[in-house]
Amino acid sequence: MADSSTSESHDPLKPPVGFLELFFDLVFVASTMVLSNEFSHDPSWLLAGQCALMFSLLWLLWFHMTVLMNVERQDDLGQRGIVFALMFVIFVTTLVFVQRDASIDLVGFGYLVAVLLVAFAHQRVTKLADPIGAWARSRRNRLLAAGVVMMFAAVIPDAPDAVLYGLTIILLVVPTSLSAQAGRPVPAIDAHHLSERAALLTLVVMGESLVKAALVISSGSIVLFDGISLVVMFVILFGLYSTYFDDVPKAGIRPGALAGELWLLAHLILQLSIVVLAIGVSKYLQVGDAGIPMKAVVILMIAYVGIFAGLAFIGCNDQRVPRFSMVGVHLGTAVLAGVAGWLTLAVIWLDPGVYLLFLAGLSAVNALLSWRVRLTTTVVRESDDSHSASIDQSLLIDALEGSS
């Protein structure tokens, strides 16, 4: 097994993503839609935090299963049973969250079962030789620790659920690959597989924005402003599509399992923000006589800052050089979206609809600048480094032979 500083090359004869993983993603389609609808019906900031927390907890289950399948891809009967059971528990837990009963924390119990299922999936891999076996044991133990925290959250009456859920997220977020810093090797990553998994789930989340808009529009008649908002939403999505898919899958992932996990974790910020974007745009549809609520501006501002901050975080762990050229473009876009949103909230005569138009233009500008940056940067592949090293070594040998 390769050292953690290297990445395994993808086998072209082997599909990068199996059908079992694609099937696993379906439960997140349903869960994300349920959570976004829940917040849309009652757009309070308390509920927004709860829905974001729930999305993060569910996403981390996807993260750990994805990293596990990246290291040891299985599609046997046992693995299918775990995945199917996990999908069922995630689906039911999401529904319980929407219809939650304060007398018993069924959400905590559901998530506890889900974490234990993911831990069991890692347990099946611990039998393999090191470093995979040791790596799986380390992740299994941390998943079990997160399960213990969730058990306390579920069984203790009046427990500080937000604090315990936050502790669970910390336990699940800290990359296991940090163990390599203590001298314990971790398995190499299949960067191509991680890139495919992240891109597919990002595509699914973006598609749910269209579904969200369609559901809102179908609840009433389409007026002129609805049509304008839909056009703007498509411009925003096309801009985000170009920014992400023309760059992120092609820019690769920096060598090392730690960079791979950080690169994948950055997609939590990105994908959660895309869901928030869909909710914000939906507030511009079917507004009626009351007009556009100023809360919609806040939602869109948070979404845009999160989207481009997530893209910047992803860029910090890719192989594009100079590395911070693209990162600077995305951070600048996040700052402009935040400043424009703050001005829209502070200046009374600025219409919220103008802010939506501004964001559409900002998406287009970001996509254009990203394209320009791609022309002036390069992606350094690991094979390129090895090839250069071999050339340098050959030149050195020739020089030594010539001198002798």
Q: Is residue 284 a contact partner of residue 30, using CB atoms and an 8 Å limit? A: no
pLDDT classification of 269: cutoffs 50, 70, 90: very high
Residue the block writes with tokens 């299949």? 190
Residues 6+ apart with CB under 8 A from 28: 58, 59, 62, 90, 201, 204
pLDDT score, position 385: 41
**Which SS3 state, helix, strand or coil, does residue 43 take?**
coil
- Condensed to tens digits (0 to 9), the pLDDT of residues 251-260 reads 988 877 677 8
Q: Which helix (H) or strand (E) holds 68?
A: helix 45-71
The full length of the chain comes to 404
pLDDT score, position 296: 86
Residue the block writes with tokens 């996403």? 59
111 compared with 291, residue with greater pLDDT? 111
Q: Is residue 162 a contact partner of residue 172, using CB atoms and an 8 Å limit? A: no
Q: Is the pLDDT of residue 159 over 80?
A: no
pLDDT score, position 5: 38
Q: Is residue 287 a contact partner of residue 75, using CB atoms and an 8 Å limit? A: no
Least confident of 101-115, 128-142, 327-341: 101-115
**Which SS3 state, helix, strand or coil, does residue 190 take?**
strand
Q: Which two tokens stand for residue 54?
A: 């729930």
pLDDT score, position 90: 94
pLDDT score, position 308: 96
Distance of alpha carbon 144 from alpha carbon 149, whole angstroms: 9
Task: Taking the CA atoms of 285, 288, 290 and 291 in sequence, report the sign of the dihedral they define.
Answer: positive
Q: Is the pLDDT of residue 403 over 70?
A: no
Q: Which residues of 85-96 are buried (b: 16+ CB within 10 A; e: fewer)?
A: ebbebbbebbbb
Q: Is the pLDDT of residue 365 over 90?
A: yes
pLDDT classification of 208: cutoffs 50, 70, 90: confident
pLDDT score, position 219: 66
For 348, list phi and psi in degrees, rounded to 5.
-65, -40
Residue the block writes with tokens 């023309």? 246
For strands 320-321 and 7-8, give the pairing: unpaired
For 40, list phi and psi in degrees, rounded to 5.
-65, -35
Q: Is the pLDDT of residue 380 over 90?
A: no
Distance of alpha carbon 100 from alpha carbon 94, whole angstroms: 9
Distance of alpha carbon 353 from alpha carbon 19, whole angstroms: 42
Q: How many CB atoms lie within 10 A of CB 394?
A: 10
For 145, list phi and psi in degrees, rounded to 5.
-65, -40
Q: Is the pLDDT of residue 387 over 50?
A: no
Radius of gyration (C-alpha) of the chain in whole angstroms:
23
Least confident of 140-154, 280-294, 380-394: 380-394
Q: Is the pLDDT of residue 2 over 60?
A: no
Q: Is the pLDDT of residue 83 over 80?
A: yes
- Condensed to tens digits (0 to 9), the pLDDT of residues 160-173 reads 677 787 888 888 88
Please tell me what DSSP assigns to residue 377: -
Q: Which two tokens stand for residue 206?
A: 């973006």
Q: Which two tokens stand for residue 103?
A: 């007398």
Q: Is residue 366 a contact partner of residue 336, using CB atoms and an 8 Å limit? A: no
Q: How many CB atoms lie within 10 A of CB 158?
A: 5
Chain-centroid distance of CA 370 in Å reads 20
pLDDT score, position 404: 44
How many CA atoms does the CB half-sphere of 151 hold within 13 Å? 9
The pLDDT > 70 percentage for the chain reads: 80
Q: Is the pLDDT of residue 394 over 70?
A: no
Chain-centroid distance of CA 151 in Å reads 26
Q: Is residue 208 a contact partner of residue 28, using CB atoms and an 8 Å limit? A: no
Mean of per-residue pLDDT scores for the chain: 81
292 compared with 118, residue with greater pLDDT? 118
Residue the block writes with tokens 């924005």? 209
Q: How many CB atoms lie within 10 A of CB 389?
A: 10
Q: Is the pLDDT of residue 299 over 80?
A: yes
pLDDT classification of 329: cutoffs 50, 70, 90: very high
pLDDT score, position 128: 85
Task: Taking the CA atoms of 134, 139, 140 and 145 in sequence, report the sign of the dihedral they define.
Answer: positive
**Which SS3 state, helix, strand or coil, does residue 174 take?**
coil
- Condensed to tens digits (0 to 9), the pLDDT of residues 223-250 reads 666 777 888 888 888 999 999 999 999 8
Q: Is the pLDDT of residue 216 over 90?
A: no
Q: Is the pLDDT of residue 179 over 80?
A: no
pLDDT classification of 13: cutoffs 50, 70, 90: very low
pLDDT score, position 279: 86
Q: Which two tokens stand for residue 72?
A: 């040891």
